[in-house]
Amino acid sequence: MPSLKDLKNRIASVKSTRKITKAMQMVAAAKLRRAQEAAEASRPYTERFNAVMAGLSAAASGSDSAPKLLSGTGEDKVHLLVVMTAERGLCGGFNSSIVKLARAKILDLRRKGKTIKILTVGKKGRDQLRRDYGDLLIGHVDLSAVKRLSYPDAQGIAKDILSRFEASEFDVATIFFSRFESVISQIPTETQIIPAKFEDEGDSEATTVYDYEPSEEEILADLLPRGVATQIFSALLENGASEQGARMAAMDNATRNAGDMIEKLSIQYNRSRQAAITNELIEIISGAEAL
């Protein structure tokens, strides 16, 4: 049974931990507001861009001069998986859920006999995947020094992916990230970015027939690289909001658990202290009766 001093030290230690988790929860809440606003502000642009690109790609998909980013290499042998996670932990199952989705994709592709290459964005994803799939890792993007995500960050990642595609290092590229829904809900998502796939949401304005000049192929050749960067930037923003939401929830749970532990330890401390006092009284009374 722990002594009174041990219990007192444990209570002080848990109280210090609770202060830290409470502070981290407040910091995550402040960062979440900015990250959520950025993610939600990017959605209308991304959706509208995808709708326009869907119309363009539908018009150019049957052409022999369609851009390679749209038509692909004609093969489906080598897959590049871009796994986006956080640079830091202490955010619940945020990183693990994205890696779990990527692992399922890897197993599925291996069963089909495909060649797999992995590009990681974020240290936590790299550390988890390196244990079992270290031989598949071909690169890593470190964003630990970035205080606030910007479009040039996404452009840098897109440039690396596009240069690998032009060098015929892979046939299909898929990004993995977590889409932000709420503080308690972040949805792991996978999206194919090469060959480009754009979903038309059925907007009547977006499906209107237009005459393009120059041709659809020339416009797509210019817009498709931007489309890759836009999808990556949107994924980074969604990931940023999801990370802060997951961290806020995790630190809130940790603070509550610390409070429960302090209460239990305090009860145990008081009982032990009362037992010690009772024993001392018994010894004093027994000594007085012996005299």
**Domain-embedded: residue 28:** no
Contacts of 154 (CB under 8 A, 6+ apart): 229, 230, 232, 233, 236
**Domain-embedded: residue 33:** no
**Domain-embedded: residue 30:** no
Structural domains of the chain, count: 2
Give me the residue label for tokens 């988790």: 21
Assess whether pLDDT exceeds 90 at residue 290: no
- Among the residue ranges 39-48, 88-97, 215-224, 262-271, the one predicted with the least confidence is 215-224
Residues 282 and 233 in one domain: no
213 versus 77: which is more confidently predicted? Answer: 77
Domain membership of residue 261 as a residue range = 4-20+252-290
CATH number of 283's domain: 1.10.287.80
Residues 225 and 102 in one domain: yes
Residues 207 and 130 in one domain: yes
Residues 241 and 256 in one domain: no
**Average pLDDT of the chain?**
86
Assess whether pLDDT exceeds 80 at residue 255: yes
Neighbours of 260 (CB within 10 A): 11
Q: Residue 179: which pLDDT band, with cuts at 50, 70 and 90? A: very high
* DSSP-H helix ranges across the chain: 4-60, 68-71, 94-111, 123-133, 151-166, 216-290
Confidence at residue 81, expressed as pLDDT on a 0 to 100 scale: 94
Residues 115 and 233 in one domain: yes
- Among the residue ranges 97-106, 206-215, 260-269, 275-284, the one predicted with the least confidence is 206-215
**Domain-embedded: residue 27:** no
Residues 129 and 235 in one domain: yes
29 versus 284: which is more confidently predicted? Answer: 29
Residues 211 and 156 in one domain: yes
Assess whether pLDDT exceeds 80 at residue 234: yes
**Domain-embedded: residue 32:** no
Percent of residues, the chain, with pLDDT higher than 90: 49
β-pairing verdict for 172-182 and 185-194: antiparallel
Confidence at residue 200, expressed as pLDDT on a 0 to 100 scale: 56
Confidence at residue 97, expressed as pLDDT on a 0 to 100 scale: 94
Catalytic residue among 11, 91, 109, 246, which?
A: 91
Residues 182 and 206 in one domain: yes
Residues 221 and 279 in one domain: no
Contacts of 285 (CB under 8 A, 6+ apart): none
Confidence at residue 196, expressed as pLDDT on a 0 to 100 scale: 81
204 versus 188: which is more confidently predicted? Answer: 188
Residues 169 and 264 in one domain: no
Total residues found in the chain within this entry = 291
**Domain-embedded: residue 230:** yes
How far is the CA of 3 from the CAs of 20, 128, 259, 268, in angstroms?
Answer: 26, 40, 21, 10
**Domain-embedded: residue 178:** yes
3-state secondary structure of 65: coil
**Domain-embedded: residue 128:** yes
Q: Residue 206: which pLDDT band, with cuts at 50, 70 and 90? A: very low
Residues 227 and 278 in one domain: no
3-state secondary structure of 193: strand
Give me the residue label for tokens 């002080």: 12
Residues 14 and 132 in one domain: no
Residue range 28-73, pLDDT digits in tens? 999 999 899 988 888 888 888 877 777 777 766 656 666 788 878 8
Confidence at residue 204, expressed as pLDDT on a 0 to 100 scale: 42
What does the pLDDT average to over 219-241? 87
CATH number of 49's domain: 3.40.1380.10
> What whole-number distance in Å separates Cα of residue 165 and Cα of residue 64?
19
> What whole-number distance in Å separates Cα of residue 162 and Cα of residue 169?
10
Active site residue 117: no
> What whole-number distance in Å separates Cα of residue 180 and Cα of residue 243?
9
Q: Which of 138, 111, 108, 110 is nearest to 126 (CA)?
A: 138
